[in-house]
Amino acid sequence: MNQVEQELLDNLVARVGRGEVEILPKEESEGVTRKLEASFPFVGSKIAWGRVKHHLSESTQGGRKTIEAVARDLVARLNESALVGENEDVYIIGDSAVDSVLLMKWRAFRESIDIFVSLPQHTYVVDTGAHWCVALTIEGYADWGSL
């Protein structure tokens, strides 16, 4: 486990202790990642959002907004539109700095979003059926798309 992953888990330790966050075993993590890659179009290691049927995007607009505000705005839009349920299970997948895949409720992710946007990676939040995905990027974007 690297330092970034350890810091993430340290920040989530109370939620892990309460059973709100599960750290998936390596084999299961790999299966979840393959499911995401099979469901969404990728170019290299990034989702090709232009090829996703339903897509919402928020950005830092050249530094006028913080990535935390951008991510919170997108999550608020999803909650208001009822596109995502508060008690829906989601996977949290990192593309580089964090190897472990986490399983948690959408509500727990929403309440912890500032932790995830601070990670030096692209973080994907995917429903268990891989029908929709949120991506938080180090370039200052928060995207959502569904099939």
DSSP string over 80-144:
HTTSS-TT-EEEEEESSS----EEEEHHHHHHTHHHHHTSSS-EEEEETTSSEEEEE-TTSEEEE
Q: What is the CA radius of gyration of the chain?
A: 14
* Residue 112 near residue 72, CB atoms below 8 Å: no
If pLDDT is split at 50, 70 and 90, which confidence band does 143 have? very high
Mean pLDDT of 98-105: 93
Mean pLDDT of 60-81: 87
pLDDT at 82 over 80: no
Structure token pair of residue 11 = 């920040």
The H or E element spanning position 71 is: helix 67-80
If pLDDT is split at 50, 70 and 90, which confidence band does 55 have? very high
Mean pLDDT of 65-79: 89
pLDDT at 81 over 90: no
If pLDDT is split at 50, 70 and 90, which confidence band does 1 have? confident
Overall size of the chain counted in residues: 147
pLDDT tens column, 10-40: 999 999 999 999 999 999 999 999 999 999 9
Percent of the chain whose pLDDT exceeds 70: 100
Indicate the pTM of the whole model.
Answer: 0.92
Distance, in Å, from the CA atom of 42 to the CA atom of 37, rounded to the nearest integer, reads: 7
